[in-house]
């Protein structure tokens, strides 16, 4: 599913000489940071995997360093509010942009949960596999298999991050959370011990720019959007708001849990003057 509601962003003007200079300077530095960090991660993982298996005590630190410094290189602000929960569990957040990957990884170790098709995407699929992404299929018959994967990851101390909207938006709204994505949390093996933390990802556009400037949705191309972000002389920023975690066992069913998490994520945007 792809969200593509409302008016699209107006076409951006091509960067001038100064803009292209920023694209080149920031883009090269960002590429060195990301791919250099990935090369180091893969090298460390060769040692980490045989010793620790699913546990990853070292490589997530590399991911965090890369993501924190990515915002510095792009000239964007990055801030957090609230406390990430300790220990294993699930994290659910709104989804606005490819920038969410950096924003959510910068503060706390997490592992994204993604649809199985992403595994085969050129470039992105390889990056996702290298950083420990959990891939899930949408077929009901594979539900027991997916629960087993979640159990193994949680037992290894992982925090699994889900985007219950199922698609990215313009960052100015929160789409209804899909209760089906919460069904696995109510498995007998998980329900009594699993905690879930709602997280709001809130973008502030650069001064004078369209409030949706950092949103990436619909048929928007990644290349042009990345270029526009890197070309800006003045940047905005992103705030990641951690809401209190809740116990799955305290909710009657997946719909009740999904509704609570959606309301908390909406509250994070409303508190900053956004009407999601």
Picking from 84, 97, 93, 112, the residue whose alpha carbon sits closest to that of residue 245 is 84
Q: Which CATH architecture best describes the domain 17-270?
A: 3-Layer(aba) Sandwich (3.40)
Backbone angles phi, psi at 20, to 5 degrees: -65, -35
| pLDDT tens profile 201-229 | 999 999 999 999 999 998 888 899 999 99
pLDDT band, residue 4 (cuts 50/70/90): confident
Contact assessment for residue 134 and residue 153, using Cβ atoms and an 8 Å cutoff: yes
- Interval 75-114: pLDDT, tens: 999 999 999 998 889 999 999 999 999 999 998 889 998 8
Distance CA 90, CA 136 (A): 15
Give per-residue pLDDT as tens, 166-179. Answer: 889 999 999 999 99
What is the token pair recorded at 233? 């002389």
Half-sphere exposure of 116 (CA within 13 A, CB side): 7
Bigger pLDDT: 98 or 138?
A: 98
Task: Tell how strand 111-115 and strand 89-93 pair up.
Answer: unpaired
Domain ranges of the chain: 17-270
Residue 48 · residue 56 · CB < 8 Å: yes
Beta bridge partners of 200: 241
The pLDDT of residue 122 is 64
Length reported for the chain: 276
Backbone angles phi, psi at 73, to 5 degrees: -65, -35
DSSP single-letter state for residue 115: E
If you average pLDDT over residues 112-131, what whole number do you get? Answer: 76
The sign of the dihedral angle between the CA atoms of 45, 35, 201, 263 is negative
Do 151 and 189 contact (CB within 8 A), yes or no? yes
- pLDDT for res 143: 67
Query: In this model, does residue 130 exceed pLDDT 90?
Result: no
To which residue do tokens 């290189």 refer? 73
Give the Cα separation of 150 and 194 in Å (integer): 11
Could you tell me the end-to-end alpha-carbon distance of the chain, in angstroms, rounded to an integer?
Answer: 19
What is the tens place of the pLDDT at every residue in 140-168?
A: 666 677 778 888 888 888 899 999 998 89
| CA distance linking residue 207 with residue 220, whole number of Å | 22
Evaluate if residue 27 carries a pLDDT over 80. Answer: yes
Region of 53 on the Ramachandran plot (φ > 0 left; ψ -120 to 50 alpha; else beta) = left
Confidence of residue 139 (pLDDT cuts 50, 70, 90): low
In terms of Cα–Cα distance, which of 82, 112, 92, 57 is closest to 195? 92
């Amino acid at each position: 599913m792809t969200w593509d509601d409302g008016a699209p962003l107006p076409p951006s003007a091509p960067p001038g000489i100064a803009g292209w200079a920023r694209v080149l300077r920031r883009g090269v530095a960002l590429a060195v940071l990301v791919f250099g960090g990935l090369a180091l991660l893969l090298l460390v993982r060769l040692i980490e995997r045989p010793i620790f298996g699913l546990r990853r005590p070292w490589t997530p630190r590399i991911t965090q360093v890369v993501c924190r410094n990515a915002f510095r290189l792009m000239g964007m602000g990055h801030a957090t509010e609230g406390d990430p929960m300790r220990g294993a569990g699930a994290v659910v957040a709104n989804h606005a942009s490819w920038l969410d990957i950096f924003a959510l990884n910068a503060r706390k170790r997490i592992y994204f949960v993604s649809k199985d098709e992403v595994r085969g995407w050129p470039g992105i699929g390889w990056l996702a596999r290298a950083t420990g992404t959990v891939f899930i299929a949408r077929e009901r018959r594979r539900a027991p298999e997916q629960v087993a994967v979640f159990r193994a990851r949680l037992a290894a101390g992982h925090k699994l991050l889900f985007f219950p909207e199922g698609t990215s938006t313009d960052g100015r709204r929160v789409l209804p959370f899909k209760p089906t994505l919460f069904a696995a949390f109510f498995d007998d093996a998980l329900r009594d011990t699993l905690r879930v933390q709602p997280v709001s990802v809130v973008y502030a556009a650069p001064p004078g720019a369209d409030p949706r400037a950092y949103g990436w949705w619909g048929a928007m191309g990644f290349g042009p959007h990345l270029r526009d972000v890197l070309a800006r002389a003045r940047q905005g920023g992103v705030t990641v708001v951690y809401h209190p975690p809740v116990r799955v066992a305290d909710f009657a069913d997946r719909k009740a849990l999904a509704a609570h998490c959606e309301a908390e994520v909406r509250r994070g945007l409303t508190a900053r003057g956004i009407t999601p």
